[in-house]
């Protein structure tokens, strides 16, 4: 497409240099844009339609996850009658000091078409690693909480939730 | 429809300095889910859902959520923060249409 653009303007002769200049500037802008905004890109990609394994691999890059059942309290009903509103809360026992705190809490629903439901980012000022939300569940399946601590350790717990009426029409 | 963006914050009625306080925030928002046509193909349109929730206390970000369409309609988010000084607690919701909805609560000590 860029080539066509060049050709059509280039045939005119007059505009050629300025067009090249503009293209150059655009190119630089595009390049820095992609470099400067990985966070934004990641945020947009958070809601991709994928399998849960692909999603976890994309977000965590295949890093090992330890069992966090001693530290993480995942509260979610065992049976969700209405899959479109399922209250879930995650509490992690953590000192929440500037050197040792919980950085992210991910809530992941294995069977959803968009498995990564939400990512909570916490600051030490939160005082307590606790988040809660209402989520949708498409069908019966595991719901996991993945916790990333400030030193990069990943912990996860999961629990199966039976869903009577699915909440993700999509 | 006109209620979109109504934010409610629920904080405990009495807070002491230094307490870790749990807050529930609720917003009226459709959180549109992906629609499919009869063939099961995704209808390509701009879905209106919240992508970001940011909580600031005394001007500092305490908690933020990145959310997807797997979050319910009219969602609530709860979180905790340590109340150190009296001041405003703000919760800002941003959706895909560029809408920004804010709820504020004044943290006072009793």
What single string gives the DSSP state of each residue in A14-71? SSHHHHHHHHHHHHHHHHHHHHH-HHHHHHHHTT----HHHHHHHHHTT---EE-TTT
Residue numbers in B near A167 (CB within 8 A): 72
Query: Residue A11: what pLDDT?
Result: 46
Nearest C-alpha of chain B: how many angstroms from A104? 9
> Which chain A residues touch B51 with a CB distance below 8 Å?
43-44, 47
pLDDT above 50 (res A7) = no
Confidence at residue A113, expressed as pLDDT on a 0 to 100 scale: 87
More confident call, A23 vs B71: B71
Q: What is the mean pLDDT of residues B73-80?
A: 93
**Mean pLDDT throughout B9-22?**
91
Residues whose CB falls within 8 Å of the CB of residue A108, separated by 6 or more in sequence, listed in order: A52, A55, A56, A115, A116, A117, A143, A144, A145, A146
Q: What is the ipTM of this complex?
A: 0.88
Dump pLDDT digits (tens) for A63-103. 889 998 889 999 999 999 888 999 999 999 998 999 999 99
Is B72 within 8 Å of A122 when comparing Cβ atoms? no
Instruction: With cut-offs at 50, 70 and 90, classify the pLDDT of residue B26.
Output: very high
Interface of B with A in 18-77 (CB under 8 A): 20, 22, 24, 33-36, 42, 51-52, 57, 60-77
Please state, in angstroms and as integers, the Cα–Cα distance from residue B9 to each residue in B52, B89, B101, following that order: 17, 9, 12
pLDDT at A12 over 70: no
Percent of chain A with pLDDT over 70: 71
For residues B41 and B22, the model is more confident at B22
Q: Which of B34, B74, B81 minimises the CB distance to A170?
A: B34
pLDDT tens digits for range A17-52? 554 454 444 444 444 443 333 444 444 457 778 888
């Amino acid at each position: 497409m860029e080539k066509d653009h060049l050709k059509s303007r280039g045939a005119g002769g007059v505009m050629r240099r300025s067009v090249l200049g503009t293209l150059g500037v655009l190119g630089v802008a595009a390049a820095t844009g992609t470099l400067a905004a990985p966070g934004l890109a990641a945020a947009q990609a958070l809601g991709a339609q994928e399998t849960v394994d692909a999603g976890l691999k994309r977000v965590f890059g295949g890093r090992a996850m330890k069992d966090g059942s001693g530290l993480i309290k995942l509260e979610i009903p065992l049976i969700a009658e209405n899959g479109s509103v399922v209250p879930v809360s995650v509490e992690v026992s953590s000192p929440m000091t500037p050197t040792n705190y919980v950085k992210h809490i991910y809530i992941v629903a294995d069977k959803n078409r968009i498995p990564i439901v939400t990512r909570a980012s916490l600051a030490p000022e939160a005082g307590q690693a606790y988040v809660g939300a209402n989520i949708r569940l498409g069908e019966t399946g595991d719901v996991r909480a993945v916790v990333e601590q400030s030193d990069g350790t990943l912990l996860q717990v999961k629990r199966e939730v039976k869903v009577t009426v699915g909440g993700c029409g999509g | 429809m006109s209620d979109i963006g109504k934010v409610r914050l629920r904080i405990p009625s009495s807070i002491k300095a230094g307490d870790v306080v749990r807050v529930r925030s609720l917003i009226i928002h459709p959180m549109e889910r992906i629609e499919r046509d009869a063939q099961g193909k995704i209808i390509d349109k701009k879905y209106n859902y919240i992508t970001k929730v940011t909580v600031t206390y005394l001007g500092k970000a305490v908690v933020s959520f990145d959310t997807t369409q797997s979050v319910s309609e009219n969602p609530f988010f709860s979180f905790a923060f340590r109340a150190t000084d009296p001041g405003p607690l703000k919760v800002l919701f941003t959706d895909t249409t560029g809408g920004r909805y804010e709820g504020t609560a004044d943290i006072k000590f009793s």
